[in-house]
Chains A and B, each alone.
Chain A
Amino acid sequence: MRLPPWRVILAGYVLAGIVVAAAGADWLAPYPFDELHVADRLHSPSLAYLAGTDEYGRDVLSRTLYGGRLSLFLGVAATGIGLAAGVPLGLLAGYRRGLLDEVLMRALDVVMSFPALLLVLLIIAVTPPGLGKTAVAVGILFVAPIARVTRSVTLDLVTREFIVAARARGERLSYILRRELLPNAWPAIVVEGSLRVAFAILLGAVLSFLGFGVQPPAADWGLMINNSRDFVETAPWLALAPGAAMSLTVIAVSLLGDGLREYLDPRLAYRQ
């Protein structure tokens, strides 16, 4: 068993640190995320406020930690929805082929030819904004690419002996999909899933930045960066903590995804 490259291990640790920091915000954050310190408005970073305070005197570090929960939740929830629908669809299409496969793939072609952000904006536009709904909208968007990846792995697998054997034993469809195909398609799905998490965090941040995501007084990283725009000259630190947290998270997730891909796919490893 070879070890993953150090980059991947490092990315894993960074990501674990971010998740722990966001999950433990109740204990780690020096202040509640919405506590006002009116005397210390727009305070630059100091010992009392490590990342400074915003225009209401709220601690930027605490808000970044709590905001991390929302951003990470969005990434995981949206990817979860995409996986829950996309993986079964992809397995079924790849295994059964025929009309179902044809219809499904054409439908996915259509979905994927729309600009992603527009489709989500369209869903969000006409109903009141909210984190849960954003997660669902992004999740629906993810069904197509996840189904496509799953299908292409499945197409490779269906001709293998163990699938032929299972079919010869007269196993039921659900058994073949869940017990034979899924465990073998898993590595590719994990890689795709991790890249989707990064993409969802970015997309969620853009939506919040545009004002169609999380609503105040709660704030995820995108909304915090949006709020900082008015103070870019006087208080540039407002954007730094959430921006750094978001960039670090996405870099870690993408490095992890890319590393896992190389690690799990021996063909790529040889090409390096």
Chain B
Amino acid sequence: MTLYFVQRLAAVAGVITLMSVLVFLATHALPATIAEVMLGQYATPETVAALETKLGLTRPLLTQYWEWASGVLHGDLGRSLVMEVPIVPVLWTALGRSAVLGATAMTVVSVLGIALGVVAAVRHGRVIDHLASGFTIVGLSVPEFFWGLLLILLFGSYLRLLPTSGYGTLDKGAGSYVAHLVLPVATLAIGLLAHVARLTRSSMLEALDTAYVKAARARGLPEWAVVTRHALRNALLPTITVLAQDIGFLIGGIVAVETIFAYPGIGRLLVYALERHDLPLMQAAILVLTAVQCLANLAADLLYALFNPQIRYGRAVA
């Protein structure tokens, strides 16, 4: 278990390092230089040279990377070119807001998705199963931003029940804070809900068909006990992995959802940086989001190991 943990931790460190190199190189190795991109149509050889000197882009690549990376390791992500402030506090605030959004969505997804999957599996072939299957196909096929728009249309324009954009700060009251979260969370959750429900359903179907479930039924245990204590406990193992994978989708989804609902989180910050060619801010946002995903993958692997006796007792170290 310890060896496994160390291996996984090393892999995570490797991926983050590699992404930092990629993020760094992407801004240097491309045909147009950063200075040209930033200056746009005002790029002349003189202005480009001046800006490159100002940004320190004329020094060797390795020196630049080293300076940037050691800054990152010391918790210094540089200064935003557009906002002209240090990036860390800005990014930290945005990340916190996104974390609230993401964590709420994940909670909704875990609870409802697993419940929906279990019900669909138990009622296999009945109306509710078909309804759930239909929902999963539609939920997976319609992108978040279109769901978001439909929800805005329904709850914002027609019913006028909920705010459709912005962020409710806590000092304006908990009601406003929660109300501003409802639509973004719902939008984020729909697609993932479908994904989790679908997977839980298929692993539940498999579990319900096993010998130990038949044995439990044969012993005359009540059906709810068979379903929850025997089948579900085993069916949940793959679901854990999928939930972690979904954090990857969630990160993609957060970028779109925060844009639609004008929610000032890290996704919107990234779009802001991309639109304005604010490279340090863009690098920082991408790096932080990658790190979040890597840590989520790590957490999933560890949870999986914790729940899977084969790995727990060191028989299969992957």
Chain A nearest CB: distance from B125 CB in Å?
A: 10
Check B141–A210 contact: CB distance below 8 A: no
Asked if B275 contacts A211 (CB within 8 A), the reply is: yes
CA of A205 to CA of B256 in the docked complex: distance in angstroms?
10
In B266-291, the 8 Å CB interface with A consists of 270-271, 274-275, 277, 279, 282, 286, 289-290
| From A117, A122, A233, contact of B255 by CB (8 A) | A117
Q: A116-B248, A122-B22 are in contact. Are A236 and B153 (CB under 8 A)?
A: yes
Distance, CA A214 to CA B137, complexed state (A) = 27
By beta carbon, the residue of chain A nearest B14 is: A110
A233 to B165 Cα, complex, angstroms: 13
> Do B152 and A232 have beta carbons less than 8 Å apart?
yes
Question: Quick check: is A159 within 8 A (CB to CB) of the other chain?
Answer: no
> Contact between B30 and A210 (Cβ–Cβ < 8 Å)?
no
In the complex, which residues 204-259 of chain A have their Cβ closer than 8 Å to any Cβ of chain B? 205-206, 209-212, 222, 225-226, 228-229, 232-233, 236, 239, 243, 246-247, 250-251, 254-255
Among A52-60, A123-131, A173-181, the one that faces the other chain is: A123-131
Chain B min CB distance to A224 (Å) = 11
Cβ distance B247 to chain A, nearest Cβ, rounded Å: 9
Contact B31 A127 (CB under 8 A): yes
- Does B251 lie within 8 Å of A118, measured CB to CB? yes
A210→B259 contact, CB < 8 A:
yes
Give every chain A residue within 8 A of B248 (Cβ-Cβ).
Answer: 115-116
The answer for the CA separation of A243 and B151 in the assembled complex, in Å, is 13
CA distance A195 to B34 in the complex (A): 36
A229 to B145, CA, bound (A): 10
Count residues on chain A whose CB falls below 8 Å from chain B CBs: 40
For A125, the chain B residues whose CB sits under 8 A away are 26-27, 274, 277, 282
B37 proximity list for chain A (CB < 8 A): 126-127
Instruction: Say whether A27 faces chain B, with CB atoms less than 8 Å apart.
Output: no
A46 on the interface (CB 8 Å rule)?
A: no
| A239: chain B residues within 8 A (beta carbon) | 146, 149, 153
Smallest CB gap from A251: residue in B:
B141
| Contact, CB under 8 Å: A115 / B30 | no
With a 10 A CB-CB cut-off, give which of A210, A239, A254, A271 has the most chain B CB atoms: A210
For B256, give its contact among A127, A206, A247 (CB under 8 Å): A206
Contacts of A226 in B (CB 8 A): 145
**CA distance in complex: A271, B206 (Å):** 9
A198 at interface by CB-CB < 8 Å:
yes
The answer to whether B32 touches A127 (Cβ under 8 A) is: yes
Given contacts A118-B290, A122-B22, A271-B206, 9 further A-B contacts (CB under 8 A): A114-B290, A118-B286, A122-B26, A126-B37, A222-B145, A232-B153, A243-B146, A246-B143, A254-B140
Interface CB pairs A-B, < 8 A, 11: A125-B26, A125-B274, A126-B26, A126-B32, A126-B37, A205-B143, A209-B145, A246-B143, A251-B138, A251-B142, A255-B137
Interface residue ranges, A against B (CB under 8 Å): 109-110, 113-118, 121-123, 125-128, 198, 202, 205-206, 209-212, 222, 225-226, 228-229, 232-233, 236, 239, 243, 246-247, 250-251, 254-255, 271
